[in-house]
Amino acid sequence: MARSHKIEDYRNFGIMAHIDAGKTTTTERILYYSGKSHKIGEVHDGAATMDYMEQEQERGITITSAATTTFWNGKRLNIIDTPGHVDFTIEVERSLRVLDGAVCVLDSNQGVEPQTETVWRQGDKYKVPRIVFCNKMDKTGASFDQCIDDIKKRLGARPVPIQLPIGAESDFKGIVDLVRMKAVIWEDESLGAKFHDAEIPADLQEKAEAARMELIEAAVELDEGAMEAYLEGNEPDEATLKRLIREAVRTSAWFPVLAGSAFKNKGVQTLLDAVVDYLPSPVDVPPTKGIDAKTEAEVVRHSTDDEPLAMLAFKIIEDPFGVLTFARIYSGKLEKGVTLLNSTKEKRERIGRMVQMHANSREEIDEAFAGDIVALVGLKESRTGDTLCDPAHPVILEKMEFPAPVIEMSVEAATKSDQEKLTTALMKLASEDPSFYVSTDSESGQTIIKGMGELHLDIKVDILRRAPYNIKVNVGAPQVAYRETIRKAAEIDYTHKKQTGGTGQFARVKLVVEPNEIGAGHKFENKIIGGVVPKEYIPGVEKGINSVLTSGPIAGFPVVDVKVALIDGAYHEVDSSAIAFEIAARAALREGIEKASPALLEPIMKVEVVSPEEYVGSVIGDLNSRRGQIQGQDMRGNANVITAFVPLANMFSYVNNLRSMSQGRASYTMQFDHYEQVPAAVAQEVQAKYA
């Protein structure tokens, strides 16, 4: 079977927006008008097709991304839904990695909102070609001009209207298409399915002409020939103008702006036309880079079926049909039944069934091609960010970066009977979300979950409490992962002796402890010469040492970067045992660490704050007050980027502080950088809290 659409006719795009700008409603309408969705599911009814998790419907925010395939004007559209919440920027980045372009939806009543700014900056980072859709033109207070102004001022980007709204608020009727210089009016009774061309209303004529002039001037700037012709009095024809707008989008030279009201069913078809006309196809964007999994040489993969298969898994969801792995094919063809290499994990994976998702149906497919987004059913080893490829041509596509988790807390099932269910559920959640981690505290045996923020963990706990899991869980307070180490060497000679009734216990060990290189972990060495401690007792010594290292003397955190050597000892023919040596080693090492000036270490985060100029002073002042060390300050677009090292302990609730400090306009990312010794005064506080 051949492909149904040429790769040039693909549009893999996302819809990005601030919460509530209307991303879900717009997606719904797109699916409706492009014929694959048969009923309009209103968000406020909780029936939207893309919002398939019960929880999302209740919260009204889209947490997970889904990919849906639909068709328009002979093109194949794959819509990748991107979430808008700040704690889920990882999901946004993940989606941005696999799409070729995006529609940025604004609420025309609100203009550029804080989260619009955040996702826009992420779009800049990944160089995503974008068009802007000013939605909610029907809302009281809607202002297209204000949106244009906001894009300039808040985003430092250059907006160029390619449409003007006709009317506003309850009077909003349609748009002026500045490319064709025609009005387009929607017929309310048809639920927006019917619309027709009309003459531009007289009161808009002048404004439309000025806007068209601006559009043409912005367009011809991109092409010398068109510019020369224009200067000689020849305006570009429609095809040329469209080509130039497309070029502007591809290079982010400027951003075309459209208007509409998804909710009132206006402007959606013209938005789809713009997606087709202006967003890039897979062959319009730079080829994908990767490394050869054998030679580690850099390779590029072009968007064609003729190169070996390479695809990237970008989303895993669990649904009633099983595990679905969403992947984008960058090059090559995929056939059902083949065995692929997961080059990231070095594991083979058989492709059993695969499906393509439509608005409210799924289509079983046997083949998929370069540019496609497919959902693979029942993969076992693959996780988000993994590359799946032709085993004969192993390649690892650019890896996605996941920031280190910043927060952790304990969870436990309220009832014993739920404990096992909890463990299984947590494993599942961790496999679906690479920024969510689960581990067990070796000391307390508690289950610890780690993630990107309090809301992130809250939502996981919420999922556990709901169907299908229905687990009653108790959670602890969020906390930082400290470590302990030593600063100098020490030697200890310790004898464990006990005589109670029959057999006694005897073991003597002499240990040397000293700091190991930073990051080298801990190391045990048996340096005994001759048989002063018989071999069979050594595992006991090692066990004793390991148990001390899991819980340090300062506040019970793991002890790292320590070398321990057993240099001497003694035993007794009758009274010695592995247990006696374990006890001796434990006591010896405890004493040794106390003598070796123990120190508390804390994780230091590299924090990057992106802030409008007016808040930079307060942002820096605040970072200083958090024991932060400012590393630098740069410009990105019209925003300031401040980098600093800040102890994680002082970064809790930072999201909220930053939001209120900047009226929600600054955003930040942070990732673990290194561990550093905690200042004495702070160490005392930590000790008081945990010991």
Ligand X SMILES: Nc1nc2c(ncn2[C@@H]2O[C@H](COP(=O)(O)OP(=O)(O)OP(=O)(O)O)[C@@H](O)[C@H]2O)c(=O)[nH]1
From the list 21-29, 272-280, 356-364, 480-488, the region that binds ligand X by CB under 6 A is 21-29
Strand partners, 71: 76
Among the listed residues 10, 11, 24, 435, the single contact to ligand X using CB under 6 A: 24
Question: Which amino acid would we find at residue 64?
Answer: T
- The residue whose two tokens read 């009281």 is 140
Residues in 127-146 that interact with ligand X by CB under 6 A: 135-136, 138-139
Query: Do residues 505 and 498 lie in contact, with contact meaning Cβ atoms separated by under 8 Å?
Result: yes
Rounded to 5 degrees, φ, ψ at 274 are -70, -35
- The residue whose two tokens read 């906001």 is 150
Residue 310 C-beta: closest distance to ligand X, Å:
32
* 81 annotated to bind ligand: yes
Residue 226 C-beta: closest distance to ligand X, Å:
35
Residue 141 C-beta: closest distance to ligand X, Å:
11
- Please tell me the distance from the alpha carbon of residue 346 to that of residue 209, in angstroms, as a whole number: 60
Bridge pairing between strands 523-526 and 562-570: parallel
44 part of the interface to ligand X, by CB under 6 A: yes
- The residue whose two tokens read 């961790």 is 430
Q: Which residue lies nearer to ligand X by CB, 12 or 261?
A: 261
* 19 annotated to bind ligand: yes
Among the listed residues 31, 43, 77, 642, the single contact to ligand X using CB under 6 A: 43
Surface-to-core class of residue 120, CB atoms within 10 Å of its CB (0-12 exposed, 13-18 middle, 19+ buried): buried
Number of residues lying near ligand X (CB under 6 A) = 22
Map residues 101-130 to x or -, x wherever contact with ligand X holds by CB under 6 A.
------------------------------
* 22 annotated to bind ligand: yes
Residues in 411-430 that interact with ligand X by CB under 6 A: none
60 part of the interface to ligand X, by CB under 6 A: yes
- Please tell me the distance from the alpha carbon of residue 691 to that of residue 683, in angstroms, as a whole number: 11
DSSP letters for 540-605: HHHHHHHHHHTS-TTTSPPB-SEEEEEEEEE--TTT--HHHHHHHHHHHHHHHHHHT-EEEEEEEE
Question: Which amino acid would we find at residue 180?
Answer: R
- The residue whose two tokens read 């002979």 is 74
Neighbours of 319 (CB within 10 A): 12
Classify 414 as helix, strand or coil: coil
23 part of the interface to ligand X, by CB under 6 A: yes
171 part of the interface to ligand X, by CB under 6 A: no
80 part of the interface to ligand X, by CB under 6 A: no
Q: Which residue lies nearer to ligand X by CB, 43 or 359?
A: 43
649 part of the interface to ligand X, by CB under 6 A: no
- The residue whose two tokens read 């049909």 is 321
Residue 32 C-beta: closest distance to ligand X, Å:
13
22 part of the interface to ligand X, by CB under 6 A: yes
DSSP letters for 242-266: HHHHHHHHHHTSSEEEEE-BTTTTB
Residue 79 C-beta: closest distance to ligand X, Å:
12
* 342 annotated to bind ligand: no
Residue 271 C-beta: closest distance to ligand X, Å:
11
* 157 annotated to bind ligand: no
* 370 annotated to bind ligand: no
Which residues are at the interface with ligand X (CB under 6 A)?
17, 19-25, 43-44, 60-62, 84, 135-136, 138-139, 261-264
State the binding site for GTP.
17-24, 81-85, 135-138
